[in-house]
C-alpha cells in the first residue's frame, strides 16, 4: 500500500477517507470482506461503513479508469456484500444508487466513474450528519435518482421520537428480536421519562434479547427476558407489541421468526401491534426474499451436528402486511398504502454489466438528477 503520496478528505465528523494518488491495488471485495461477513450490524451501520469504503476506493482511481472497467470492478467488489445483506431494503437501495451513478458515467464521457461513484457514496455518508439542516439541498427528501439532492437515509432519531410519542408512562412493551429502531425508540422513551417495562425473548440463535438488555443497561430500564417459546403467552401482559423490520415487500415484511404467532396473539388479546421501520426498509420493486445463505449457516444452530440431524436455521419469516394494523416510520403513524405512495421504488436498477434496454431503468419520481459537482467542489464540501 502506498505510504507517501496521498491526501486526506475529512468526510464526516473528523473521520478520514484516504485518497491515494498512486491508486491502491487492494480490490474493493477485499475492503468489504469484513462487512460481508458481519451479521450483527443493522442496515444503517453496514451501509454507512460501505459508503466510506467505496468513497475512498473510487477516488483512488484517475481518468484512465474507464467506465466499462469501473462497472466490472464495482460488480465484483460488491458481490459478496450484496449476497449477504441485500435482503434488507436499505442495502438494496444503496447498491441501486451506486449502479445508477455508474450508469451516468457510462452514458456521459464528461462524468468519469471516479467522480460519479465517489459523489454518490459521499451523499450517503453525509445523510447521517447531525447538522445536515445547514445544507437544505442535502437535508430534503430524496427522489431516488443517483446524484440528486436529498437525504439518502431517513433520520432514525425521527422514528425514535415518533415511537416514543405513542407511549404512556410505564407501559409494558413486548418486543420481538433486536433492531436498531426498537433500541433507539426505547432509549428515547427513557430519556423522556416514560420508563417503559420491556418484555423480550432471548432471540436464539442470535441472542438478540441479551443485546437489547445490554443496550438498555445504562438507562436502567426494567427488562424481562423470556424463552422465545413463552413469548406468545406473555402478550396478554403487554400494553403493546413492537416488531422491527429492515425488509418490507409489496405484500409482506421480514421479521424474526415467531412474528406471525405474536401478531395472531395480539389480535386475539386486543393488544396493539406496531411495526417500527424507516421508509428505506421498502425493497425496490417490492420483491421480498429471505437471505439465501441463512438456510446453510450451520453456526446458527449446531456446527458439528450429526448427519442424521436436519438443521432448520432460518431465523426470519414473512409477516403479511394485512396482519399489521399500524406502521411507525420517521413520519409517525403511517398506513402501508401511504408509505408505498411516498417511498416505494418500482424497479430495481440493472447491474453494471446488464443492458438497460432489456431490464428497464430506475427513473426519478419527482426531480431530475443534480449536475455532477467538480472534484474541487466535492472536496471542499466534504471538508469538516
- Residues 103, 198 within the same domain: no
Cross-strand partners of 255: 317
Q: Are 216 and 316 in the same domain?
A: yes
Q: Do 324 and 286 share a domain, yes or no?
A: yes
CA distances from 211 to 214, 216, 225, 274, 294 (A): 5, 9, 11, 21, 20
In this structure, the answer to whether residues 257 and 370 fall within a common structural domain is no
Q: Is residue 130 situated within a structural domain? A: yes
Domain co-membership, 297 together with 204? yes
In a domain, residue 349? The reply is no
Backbone φ and ψ for 317, nearest 5 degrees, come out as -150, 160
Per-residue pLDDT tens over the stretch 206-226: 778 888 999 998 898 999 999
Q: Which residue has the cell 430506475?
A: 362
Lowest mean pLDDT among 127-136, 298-307, 353-362: 353-362
pLDDT tier, 112 (very low <50, low <70, confident <90, very high otherwise):
very high
Average pLDDT over residues 311-316: 88
Under 8 Å between Cβ of 143 and 169: no
Does 328 fall in a domain? Answer: yes
Same domain, 275 and 130: no
**Distance between CA atoms of residues 212 and 183, nearest Å:** 7
Q: Judging by DSSP bridges, how do beta strands 326-329 and 332-334 pair with one another?
A: antiparallel
Contact 35, 49 (CB under 8 A): yes
- Give the CATH number for residue 285: 3.40.50.10470
What's the rounded Cα separation, in Å, for the pair 145 and 61? 24
Q: Is residue 80 part of a domain?
A: yes
Which range of residues forms the domain containing residue 201? 156-343
Residue 318 and residue 375 share a domain? no
CA neighbor of 274 nearest in space, from 324, 225, 346, 236: 324
Asked whether residue 348 is domain-assigned, the answer is no
SS3 content of the chain, % helix, strand, coil (to 5): 45, 15, 40
For the cut 60, the answer to whether the pLDDT of residue 370 exceeds it is no
Grid cell of 110 as nine digits: 464528461
Considering the domain architecture, whether residues 35 and 167 belong to the same structural domain is answered as no
Cell of 314: 432460518
Instruction: Provide CB contacts within 8 A for 142, sequence distance 6+.
Output: 148, 149, 150, 151, 152
In a domain, 1, yes or no: no
List, for residues 12-49, the tens digit of each pLDDT value.
Answer: 444 444 444 444 578 999 999 999 999 888 999 999 99
Confidence grade of residue 383 (pLDDT, cut at 50, 70, 90):
very low
In the chain, how many domains are there? 2
Q: Quick one: 196 and 325 in the same domain?
A: yes
Instruction: Give me the helix-helix angle, 208-216 and 180-191, nearest 10°.
Output: 30
The structure's pTM equals 0.86
> Quick one: 118 and 267 in the same domain?
no
In a domain, 258, yes or no: yes
Answer whether residue 90 is part of any domain: yes
Amino acid at each position: 500500500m502506498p505510504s507517501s503520496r496521498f491526501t486526506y478528505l475529512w468526510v464526516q465528523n473528523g473521520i478520514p477517507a484516504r485518497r491515494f494518488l498512486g491508486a491502491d491495488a487492494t480490490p474493493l471485495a477485499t475492503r468489504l470482506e469484513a462487512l460481508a461477513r458481519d451479521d450483527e450490524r443493522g442496515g444503517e451501520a453496514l451501509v454507512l461503513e460501505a459508503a466510506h469504503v467505496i468513497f475512498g476506493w473510487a477516488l483512488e482511481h484517475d481518468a484512465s479508469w474507464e467506465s466499462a472497467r469501473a462497472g466490472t470492478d464495482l460488480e465484483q467488489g460488491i458481490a459478496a456484500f450484496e449476497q449477504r445483506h441485500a435482503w434488507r431494503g436499505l442495502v438494496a437501495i444503496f447498491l441501486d444508487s451506486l449502479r445508477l451513478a455508474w450508469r451516468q458515467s457510462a452514458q456521459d464521457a464528461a462524468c468519469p466513474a471516479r467522480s460519479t461513484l465517489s459523489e454518490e457514496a459521499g451523499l450517503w455518508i453525509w445523510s447521517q450528519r447531525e447538522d445536515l439542516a445547514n445544507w437544505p439541498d442535502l437535508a430534503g427528501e430524496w427522489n431516488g435518482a443517483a446524484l440528486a439532492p436529498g437525504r439518502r437515509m431517513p433520520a432514525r432519531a425521527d422514528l425514535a421520537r415518533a415511537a416514543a410519542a405513542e407511549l404512556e408512562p410505564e407501559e409494558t412493551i413486548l418486543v420481538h428480536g433486536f433492531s436498531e429502531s426498537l433500541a433507539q425508540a426505547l432509549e428515547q422513551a427513557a430519556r423522556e421519562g416514560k420508563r417503559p417495562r420491556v418484555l423480550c425473548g432471548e432471540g436464539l440463535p442470535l441472542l438478540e434479547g441479551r443485546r437489547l438488555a445490554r443496550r438498555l443497561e445504562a438507562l436502567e430500564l426494567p427488562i424481562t427476558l423470556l424463552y422465545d417459546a413463552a413469548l406468545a403467552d406473555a402478550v396478554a401482559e403487554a400494553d403493546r407489541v413492537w416488531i422491527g423490520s429492515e425488509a418490507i415487500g409489496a405484500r409482506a415484511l421480514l421479521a424474526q421468526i415467531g412474528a406471525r404467532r405474536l401478531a395472531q396473539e395480539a389480535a386475539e388479546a386486543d393488544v396493539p401491534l406496531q411495526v417500527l421501520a424507516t421508509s428505506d426498509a421498502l425493497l425496490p420493486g417490492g420483491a421480498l426474499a429471505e437471505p439465501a445463505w441463512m438456510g446453510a449457516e450451520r453456526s446458527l444452530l449446531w456446527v458439528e451436528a450429526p448427519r442424521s440431524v436436519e438443521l432448520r436455521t432460518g431465523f426470519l419469516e414473512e409477516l403479511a402486511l394485512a396482519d399489521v394494523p399500524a406502521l411507525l416510520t420517521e413520519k409517525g403513524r403511517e398506513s402501508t398504502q401511504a408509505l408505498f405512495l411516498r417511498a416505494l421504488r418500482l424497479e430495481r436498477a440493472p447491474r453494471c454489466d446488464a443492458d438497460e434496454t432489456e431490464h428497464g431503468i430506475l427513473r426519478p419520481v419527482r426531480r431530475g438528477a443534480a449536475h455532477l459537482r467538480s472534484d474541487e467542489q466535492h472536496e471542499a464540501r466534504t471538508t469538516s
